[in-house]
Chain A
Amino acid sequence: MDTIIQQLFNAAQLGAVYALIALGYSMVYGIIRLINFAHGDIFMLGGFIGLLLTTRFGWMPFYLLLPLAMLLTALVGVTIERVAYRRLRNAQRMSVVITTLGVGIFLENLVRLTVGPETRQIPAGLPSAPVVWLQQHLGAFVTWDKLLIILISLALMAILWLVVNRTLIGTAMRAVADNKDAVPLMGVNLNLVIAVTFAIGSALAAAGGIFYGQAYSIDPYMGIDLGWKAFIAAVIGGIGSIEGAVLGSFLLAGVEVITVAYLSSNLKNGIAFGLLILLLLVWPWGIMGKPTLKKV
């Protein structure tokens, strides 16, 4: 019993990190049909920005450090869109895919050159004592940082949901997803809406990178593996859907954690990707995805 609860918390923590990455993939795809393969590396970069801030400004409390790292990573995301993607908005899909992959490789090597290839851990900014209440009542050993990572991630997702569904900029983002051509006719600057989407996606990924670096570790290439996992989670949930990205992330993390705990860690990726294939056979558009009919 106690180990099941512990595993659930492990799954929730991993799922939260996946979700923070998957949301960026899904939002950007949702509004401009672009799969940003550099997004996993933005997640990695966010982790390293968090690491640099912690080592340089050790006095800074976590609740200041996190938003600052998110802001800086958002600026990087917006810059990448401005410099590399914007001029390709009406280009062939293949050119865009190659560009996003190239940007990803650039970021990996940039970090490797400037910070180094070693695996590092972000010093804990959150208390690591066990949650006594959970230990006494459920017999589960769960640390405060794990619980806080899950709670802060859920709060960020809730804020995102409110921004997208309850604000005018969120309405504009959904309008771009719906009918991009009509958006300028409303007096709305399309480039601004797309920039905001990249900023939000990058900021969330940065939070994911910092949480991951605290809970596990970071290295310049971590964005590849985790980026793909988050991408799979977004596809399982239905790419373009915010709710789907979150659902797919927790589902994938749950499957992975259970596989590692009760079967074998070697099977983890095989089962994760197998699940993707199976689910897409049943739901080609993902769980929450809508079938889109192409206008002819």
Chain B
Amino acid sequence: MTLLRVENLAVSYGAIKALHGINLTIEEGEIVSLLGANGAGKSTTLRAISRMLPLQGGDIFYRDQSVKNIPAHQLVAMGIGHVPEGRGIFPNLTVQENLALAAWTQKNKQRLAASYEKVFALFPRLEERRPQLGGTLSGGEQQMLAVGRALMTDCRLMLLDEPSMGLSPLLVKEVFRALQAINAQGMTILLVEQNAHMALKIAHRGYVLENGRMVLEGPATELAKDPRVKEAYLGGATT
């Protein structure tokens, strides 16, 4: 089943066009990577999908329903979770409060308890740090908290914006392993990354954005072999 379908999506910042009508689909259960250079429009795409930016054209369908006119907070209740660029944690709230707030739309007590269990099973470190302020966590722990919060929203589709940003290679591996585990439990993931190597390794399919236009798409294994992708995003080692 197609979980998300983006049709002809266009976004502008004032006079500057950031997205020139892009298309993208995500099937239920997939990990899809969205690659591209700095300023290609990757974060803009995510922010437009989660309705944090006004659309200039096109439409977004979540489970075949247009979400163009739905405010961002209601989209969360519908099942779209967004881990924003720079993690967006609340530094003066405790880890516990960060997680509790993300469960705002969850009214069912049993599901809520299950969500906490899920998060702490995946990131035992967060359970240890429950009473600590979010701002005192290390970069890696903050990223875990950001992903944990998205899980607490009980989403079906998780949008992730550069989860590897500012993390050591070891922590990047840990975060990506967690994403694979979440996906194995049924979560559909749209992953924006500059670390194309890691992103294509865990993804099923991928898209490549260039200056606000979709220039390539295909299965991740094929994209990883594509000379253009290698040249631009995988360190230029052409074979």
| Chain A residues near B (Cβ < 8 Å) | 168, 171-172, 174-175, 177-179, 181-190
Contact = CB atoms under 8 A, between A and B. Distances in A.
A171 B101 CA distance: 7
A175 B52 contact: no
B197 to A, nearest CB: 28
A184 B84 CA distance: 11
A172 B101 contact: yes
Interface in B71-101: 71-74, 76-77, 81-82, 84, 88-93, 97, 100-101
B13 interface: no
A189 B84 CA distance: 17
Contact of A189 (B73, B81, B82, B93): B73
Interface of B: 50, 52, 71-74, 76-77, 81-82, 84, 88-93, 97, 100-102, 104-105, 149, 153
A102 B149 CA distance: 41
Contacts, number: 68
A237 B149 CA distance: 33
Given A183-B73, A186-B153, A187-B77, 12 more contacts: A171-B93, A174-B97, A178-B90, A178-B91, A178-B93, A181-B84, A185-B50, A185-B52, A186-B76, A186-B102, A187-B74, A187-B104
B93 A182 contact: no
Contacts of B88: 179, 181-182, 185
A175 B101 contact: yes
Nearest to B149: A186
B102 to A, nearest CB: 5
B101 A168 contact: yes
A196 to B, nearest CB: 13
A185 B76 contact: yes
Contact of B92 (A172, A178, A184): A178
A179 B102 CA distance: 13
Most buried by A among B71, B89, B97, B100: B97
Contact of A174 (B73, B82, B90): B90
Contacts of A190: 73
A109 B93 CA distance: 42
B91 A188 contact: no
6 contacts: A175-B97, A183-B73, A185-B50, A185-B88, A186-B149, A189-B73
B170 to A, nearest CB: 26
B108 to A, nearest CB: 14
Q: Which of B74, B81, B92 has the most CB of A within 10 A?
A: B92
A185 B90 contact: no
Contacts of B91: 178-179
Contacts of B149: 186
A175 B52 CA distance: 17
